[in-house]
Chains A and B, each alone.
Chain A
Amino acid sequence: GENVEQHPSTLSVQEGDSAVIKCTYSDSASNYFPWYKQELGKRPQLIIDIRSNVGEKKDQRIAVTLNKTAKHFSLHITETQPEDSAVYFCAASPQGAQKLVFGQGTRLTINP
């Protein structure tokens, strides 16, 4: 079955700097790759997603890139702000299976 690896597990950056979180997946047939943000004590919420027919997608300060050949995708956050501090999860959806397999999560801390 699908396996998603996420790195790093923790990340600390200065406010205003950029943050990058990387994920790899095992099933080459997976075709949907969302990112979820979970603030402390809250539920995970979708922040951006990308499908396998697209290489990059951007929404204001966040962007996601996908490399199907290498089977990896990344989340980029620019001009980080304190409210970006949270746990971020990547996920992959195997083709033909209506489910999401999540990575282990990255705890991002923005230092003022």
Chain B
Amino acid sequence: DAGVIQSPRHEVTEMGQEVTLRCKPISGHDYLFWYRQTMMRGLELLIYFNNNVPIDDSGMPEDRFSAKMPNASFSTLKIQPSEPRDSAVYFCASSQAGGYAGELFFGEGSRLTVL
């Protein structure tokens, strides 16, 4: 398996624009997680899915952020409108048994810069 695949790897956009980040989890993994990494706040969990269903979105900063998982092999994280404070590395991760029981496999991350 190629691992967790994220796109784009880098995104530079202007404030107010819509940003869509994409993730393909490892085949057979039931859980998908979106994390945001910044120097100030470290790795923050934004939302996670189990079998394509959102389980906990309490980490989503505000209504500008939304995430979907239309099928087992694809998820998106959308920011609309984007703001400079959204600049961060966004990681997608997947797991076979959930974070409490097994390993999270992270993608390479999407580095977002909002000007």
Contacts and interface: CB of A to CB of B under 8 A. Distances in A.
Interface of A: 1, 31-32, 34, 36, 42-46, 49, 89, 91, 93-95, 97-105
B33 to A, nearest CB: 7
Contacts of B97: 98
A43 B42 contact: no
Contact of B42 (A1, A46, A102): A102
A99 B33 contact: yes
B42 A99 contact: no
Contacts of B58: 1
B100 A98 contact: yes
Contacts of B43: 44, 89, 102, 105
B104 A46 contact: yes
A45 B48 contact: no
Given A43-B108, A43-B109, A89-B42, A98 B50 contact: yes
Interface string B18-39: 0000000000000101010000
Given A99-B56, A103-B42, A45 B106 contact: yes
Contacts of A49: 103
